[in-house]
Amino acid sequence: MARVVEVRAAMLQLAEAGAAALNECLPVLRRFGEMMATTLELHARKEDEALFPAVEAVFGTGFGPTQVMRGEHQTIRAQGELLHKTLHELRTVEHPALEAKREALLSLLGSGPAEAVALPGMAREIIELLDSHFAKEEQILFPLARQALDPPTMAFVAAAMQEIGLTGLATSS
């Protein structure tokens, strides 16, 4: 994923240069946040609404892998929303309390035990979640679905995923 590679480079730059690299790295992080809200959200919807129900029809709704993947989708969404909120606060700071928060966030870039709440820490956590999630899809879920679902069901799932892709995010809640 090109955006993830771009964000990894930005995180390295922030770690090396700190707040001095922020202006250069913020557009990368914003593009990453936008990709999470669009492309990744659409990917999750396709799985949640088309693939997982088909797999669960075979194995039952208490089936572990789909429950794990749904939970990870929720975690990834929450982390994406936190990143979006932080980026928004850094971009639109005018209120004195927000200005203080902005300065605190900038002072945390790439250093100290509070790194987990800093921008690089958030992006790093999201990337780790995505890496783990996609590995589970490729190594467990997709092979399992190919084995468990018959060709007509696979065709139905593919058509349903295509339809979700055509309607995009306009119908998501």
- Report the CATH number that the domain containing residue 59 is assigned in CATH: 1.20.120
Nearest partner of 33 among 89, 99, 77, judged by Cα: 77
Is 172 part of a structural domain of the chain?
no
Residue 106 structural domain: 2-167
Q: What angle do CA 85, 90, 91 make, to 5 degrees?
A: 95
Number of structural domains (the chain) is 1
What CA–CA distances, in Å, run from 50 to 57, 64, 95? 11, 17, 44
Cα dihedral sign for 132, 138, 142, 143?
negative
Task: Compute the distance between CA of residue 84 and CA of residue 57 in angstroms, rounded to an integer.
Answer: 35
pLDDT in tens for each of the 173 residues of the chain?
677 889 888 888 877 877 777 778 888 888 898 999 999 999 999 999 999 999 999 988 877 889 999 999 999 999 988 888 887 777 665 445 555 655 555 555 544 333 323 677 788 888 999 999 999 999 999 999 999 999 999 999 999 999 998 876 544 44
Is 173 part of a structural domain of the chain?
no
Is 47 part of a structural domain of the chain?
yes
